[in-house]
Amino acid sequence: MLYKNLARLLRLQIQQGGLGPGERLPSIRQLAASHQVSAATAVQACLQLEREGLAEARPRIGYFVRVAGQGLISTVPPPRAPALISNPALLDLLLVDDNATILPLHAARPAPSLLPDATIAAALSRSLRRHREQSLGYAPPQGYAPLRRQIAQRYASMGVTVDADEIIVTAGAMEAITMALRVLTRPGDIVLVETPTYQGILQTVATLGLQVLELPRLRDGGLDLVLLESLLAKQAVRAAVMVPNFSNPLGLSLDDDTKQALLACCAHHGTVLVEDDIYGDLAWDDSRPPPLRRWNDGGAVITCTSFSKTLSPGLRVGWMLGGAWTGELLRAKYFSTVGNAALPQLAISDYLARHDLERHLRKLRRALAGNASHMRAAIDRHWPAGTRMGEPRGGLSLWIQLPAGSDAAVFSRAALAQGVGVMPGHVFSGNGDYRDHVRLSCGLPFDQSIDAALRRLGVIAASLF
């Protein structure tokens, strides 16, 4: 851990401008002497900064701070004091979803052709035919019991022990996250979120009047655990909303060690983890990373997720693993919506009983990986020099840094005028950071029209900096 401490100090110096772009870092010998660590530790710290894209090695000379625009993704913003979210763009997001003339590269969802739409439609008709009364009546507030049992079985197949009695069916993952925060917090409380993060999480936090503390996800998708520890030690943080698996927009996951360290650190400080695992099933190489819940029996984690990205966003079938909070969450659910609509739950349950979900997921993951790889190649071909891409491993997002000096809000407006939806980077931060980033979805099957759209976007990007 020593090298991580040293890397953190150097990172802060770089982020706060104490070490400017192109400047040389102190030599290994100087670092070792001034911080009383071994030369090996100093080297490891420099390597860590190199992995994060903050520094680069020049053979036989030393380590230098990378010049802006040469890194993979720009310097992560330094952590700030907790604050109410003040990014107005969040609350009036250009939701162009209903506009069929727009190519929806802004929307993180798989195209209907990648989802089992016909099978789900058949399941809906069958459920209505066979269980008409149940379909049209009130469903139990906690959700349809056979569906909850099927979900619990899926966790068992991942080696995660979950009791069907602690599963609460919700209207998508978003309702689950909102309910978890409503139960855990009061207006004015501080919650920790990772940055960049899904704008829906930031909107919920803003709507609930919570203060936000942003913890940067590192370039490799990891977390600075030393920084996390110091943030949680400094102030009472009621909850942390994290997307450990294939986060939106990075498409990267925390490794198992980091997940366990995150759990331990939050448990130590009494911070409840609200885990959004919506992309956990979308590992492009089929290696499903475990949810945080795998290492905790629900005493410190509330897991929230849904079938929105895997089966159907429109049916709005999500769920939460309530753990120790199940009773309170159930009351909150009952008092807000009474329960989810019955028919979509019956249909998903019917689908799970008759079809091999895993087989569908394998096909979906392959398709998303293929789309992402074609899109990355097209962006390489068509976008100006200085464009940087991360290296996502799953999910639905490509996170792209435009050349230095670009304004992604202007870019996305120009793209929309040309019929292409693009999500500007500043909506992924409560404070409007990432102004030179955009997120594209890789949920649409790659074809000539996507290639042509990416070419048009490349022309816009080239004209803007």
Ligand X SMILES: Cc1ncc(COP(=O)(O)O)c(C=O)c1O
Q: Which residue, 55 or 301, has its beta carbon nearer to ligand X? A: 301
| Closest distance of CB 307 from ligand X, Å | 8
| Residue 276 in the binding site for ligand X (CB under 6 A) | yes
With CB under 6 A as the contact rule, the residue among 306, 345, 401, 429 that binds ligand X is 306
Complete DSSP assignment for 418-449: TTB--EEGGGGSTT---TTEEEEE--SPP-HH
| Residue 421 in the binding site for ligand X (CB under 6 A) | no
Among 171-179, 267-275, 403-411, 438-446, which window interacts with ligand X (CB under 6 A)?
171-179
With CB under 6 A as the contact rule, the residue among 53, 82, 318, 421 that binds ligand X is 318
| Residue 399 in the binding site for ligand X (CB under 6 A) | no
Among 166-174, 183-191, 203-211, 421-429, which window interacts with ligand X (CB under 6 A)?
166-174
Q: Report d(CA 192, CA 231) in Å as an integer.
A: 9
Binding to ligand X in span 205-244, by CB under 6 A: 243
Complete DSSP assignment for 394-415: BSSEEEEEPSTT--HHHHHHHH
Residue 3, helix vs strand vs coil: helix
| Residue 195 in the binding site for ligand X (CB under 6 A) | no
Closest CA to 81 of 179, 208, 212, 178: 212
**Who contacts 296 (Cβ-Cβ below 8 Å, separation ≥6)?**
263, 267, 273, 323
Residue 134, helix vs strand vs coil: helix
With CB under 6 A as the contact rule, the residue among 63, 144, 155, 198 that binds ligand X is 198
Among 251-259, 305-313, 415-423, 441-449, which window interacts with ligand X (CB under 6 A)?
305-313
Q: Which helix (H) or strand (E) holds 354?
A: helix 342-354
With CB under 6 A as the contact rule, the residue among 120, 212, 278, 343 that binds ligand X is 278
With CB under 6 A as the contact rule, the residue among 25, 73, 108, 460 that binds ligand X is 108
Q: Give 309's DSSP letter.
A: T
| Closest distance of CB 353 from ligand X, Å | 22
Q: What residue type is 153 in one-letter code? A: Q
With CB under 6 A as the contact rule, the residue among 142, 185, 203, 308 that binds ligand X is 308
**Who contacts 131 (Cβ-Cβ below 8 Å, separation ≥6)?**
346
Footprint on this chain of ligand X (rule: CB under 6 A): 108, 172-174, 198, 200, 243, 248, 276, 278, 306, 308, 313, 318
